[in-house]
Amino acid sequence: MRTSTIQPRSLPLGPKGRPLVGVLPQMRRRPLQFMAECASTYGDALQVKIAHLHACLLSHPDLVEEVLVTHNRKFIKPQLLKQASEVLGNGLLTSDGDFWLRQRRLAQPAFHRDRIANYAELIAAFSDQLTNRWGNGQTMDIHEEMMGLTLQIVARALFGADVAGHTETVGRALDAALQRFTERMSLMRLLDRFPLPRNIRFRQRQRELDGIIYGMIESRRQSKTENDDLLSMLLHAQDTDGSQMSNQQLRDEVITLFLAGHETTAIALSWTWMLIAQHPEAEARLHDELDRVLGDRPPTLADVPNLRWTEMVVKESMRLYPPAWRVGREAAEDCVIGGYQIPKGMQVVASQWVIHRDPRWYPNPDAFLPQRWDGDLARQLPKFAYFPFGGGPRRCIGDEFAKMEATLILAAIARKFKLTLIPNQQIDYFPSITLRPKYGIQVRAERRGER
């Protein structure tokens, strides 16, 4: 057998940053711009120090594929994400290895295309209910509206009717959890132990949330009636040896699904509304399609294949504003990626924001052009030139759900309302775990015709 004589190279050095903290200040202040600048100055692979962490930034789709697919077994979830375990427990997003694999196998059938089809009606109905509350000319923060809507949808998909009346408490607790998570990303962990008001509030919200979730799990275990929601599927899911999830595992998965499934989709929609309002031609094509396909009725699952432009709008929006703007891993062993040495313990980061705006893959990369997806661009691109849902075995379990949900919500609302941006507002993004609009997005909703 011939052995390769090519020796792995060391990763090129990126910016040095400051003593002790390395590039942490830049990563905290302007992570998107910083990562994009690093990629354009130092290339597709480089190493930096982020405080005590040794990290590398990968900005070529083929390198991302090597980490997420080809050599995925050599990587685990990164340290910073593990800190979220305080909230998420050992759920799908944060767990690793055999435990993760078993949980993923148990949960996967709940996200099968046929199962999620059941939720289409629910999505259209909740969207309709929301717009029935809107008055003509009403102004609102569309991000807040989308957060409320997707929370209701994911809560109902998980728990069926049981959740009615609890959605607000759950939403509040999730907000507190996200807030906490964001703070933890800023390495403020030392303060967690003290009885500060925010810590007390956080624990109280967590207790409320756990109380509701354990209550629902328990009453579902006692119940003799068949339910068609995700909780029932997870509760009855059996591994090959006949074992099932404990209450604690169910709680962790349910909170994970709540968190992973509600804010991301809301963010995708919020940026989509902004982009549509800023691009009258794209908006006109959207309205034409909805009038032609739906007329004056709400959308159903059967309409989705005919809502091509609507889908392309969502796809292009997630290219420009990927709700998950980076994926991270930690090398569990020494390995070689793209010919570069990656030592055990190194934090590996790849940013959707950077790769989705790379002119090598997208001509005129900063422009919102849904029509770019009309031909066979998707087939020509390297696999990881577009990866809003990640990839490989840890690909988002809710990707099909989210795509269907975003398309149906956009269709259900845009068939009735045209949203215009309130002038002179400041719109900016806040890259924490997700890419939220920092100050929300203020719009005026105008009724389209007499629908």
Q: Which of residues 124-163 bind ligand HEM (CB under 6 A)?
A: 154
Residue 374 Cβ, how far from ligand HEM at the closest point, in Å?
21
In the list 265, 270, 272, 310, the residue contacting ligand HEM (rule: CB under 6 A) is 265
| CA count, 13 A, side-chain hemisphere, 190 | 1
Of 262, 247, 260, 242, nearest to 102 (Cα)? 242
Q: DSSP labels for 156-195? A: HHHHGGGGTTTHHHHHHHHHHHHHHHHHHHTT-GGGGGS-
- What are the distances in angstroms from CA 448 to CA 264, 381, 410? 28, 37, 14
Determine the interface stretch with ligand HEM among 133-141, 174-182, 190-198, 259-267 (rule: CB under 6 A): 259-267
Q: How far is CA 159 from CA 81, 215, 236, 255, 257, in A?
A: 26, 11, 14, 12, 11
Stretch that binds ligand HEM, among 184-192, 198-206, 257-265, 337-345 (CB under 6 A): 257-265
Considering only residues 60, 74, 357, 394, which one is a binding residue for ligand HEM as defined by CB under 6 A? 394
Options 388, 415, 416, 435; binder of ligand HEM; rule CB under 6 A: 388
Name the CA radius of gyration of the chain, rounded: 22
- The binder of ligand HEM chosen from 88, 173, 275, 324 (CB under 6 A): 324
Residue nearer to ligand HEM on the CB measure, 86 or 291: 86
With CB under 6 A as the contact rule, the residue among 47, 127, 264, 272 that binds ligand HEM is 264
Contacts of 47 (CB under 8 A, 6+ apart): 11, 12, 13, 14, 54, 55, 56, 57, 346
Size of the site for ligand HEM (CB under 6 A): 23
Minimum CB distance to ligand HEM smaller for 394 or for 415: 394
Residues in CB range of 124: below 8 A, 6 or more apart:
298, 299, 300, 408, 412
Contact 149, 126 (CB under 8 A): yes
Contact 419, 398 (CB under 8 A): no
Q: Which residues pair with residue 54 across a beta bridge?
A: 49
Least Å from the CB of residue 373 to ligand HEM: 16
Task: Quote the least distance from Cβ 6 to ligand HEM, whole Å.
Answer: 29
Cβ distance to ligand HEM smaller for residue 92 or 217? 92
Judged by CB under 6 A, does residue 398 bind ligand HEM? yes
234 lies in the binding site for ligand HEM (CB under 6 A): no
What single DSSP character describes residue 373?
G
Judged by CB under 6 A, the residue of 54, 82, 102, 104 near ligand HEM is 104
The 8 Å CB, 24+ separation contacts for 294-302 are 294/411, 294/415, 296/415, 296/451, 298/124, 298/125, 298/127, 298/128, 298/412, 298/415, 299/124, 299/408, 299/411, 299/412, 299/415, 300/120, 300/121, 300/124, 301/117, 301/120, 301/121, 301/404, 301/408
Site for ligand HEM in 266-285 (CB under 6 A): 268
356 vs 415, which CB is nearer to ligand HEM?
A: 356
Q: Which residue is nearest to ligand HEM (CB)?
A: 398
The residue from 390, 421, 440, 446 that contacts ligand HEM (CB under 6 A) is: 390
Please list every residue from 19 through 58 that binds ligand HEM, using CB under 6 A.
Answer: none
State the nearest-atom distance from the C-beta of 418 to ligand HEM, in Å.
Answer: 23
Pairing type for strands 442-447 and 417-421 reads: antiparallel
Q: Are 348 and 72 in contact (CB under 8 A)?
A: no
The reply to whether 431 sits near ligand HEM by the rule CB under 6 A is no
Q: Can you tell me which of 61, 89, 261, 298 binds ligand HEM, judged by CB under 6 A?
A: 261
Residue nearer to ligand HEM on the CB measure, 155 or 290: 155
- By CB under 6 A, name the one of 277, 396, 435, 445 that touches ligand HEM: 396
Residue 126 CA: distances (Å) to CA of 97, 120, 289: 37, 10, 22
The answer to whether residues 373 and 312 touch, using CB atoms and an 8 Å cutoff, is yes
Q: Which one of the spans 122-130, 273-281, 320-328, 420-428 is the region binding ligand HEM (CB under 6 A)? A: 320-328
Which of 42, 202, 373, 401 forms a contact with ligand HEM (CB under 6 A)?
401
**Part of the chain binding ligand HEM (CB under 6 A), chosen from 212-220, 221-229, 241-249, 322-330:** 322-330
Among the candidate windows 14-22, 29-37, 280-288, 395-403, which touches ligand HEM by CB under 6 A? 395-403
Which residues bind to ligand HEM, rule: CB under 6 A? 92-93, 104, 154, 256-257, 260-261, 264-265, 268, 323-324, 327, 388-390, 394, 396-398, 401-402
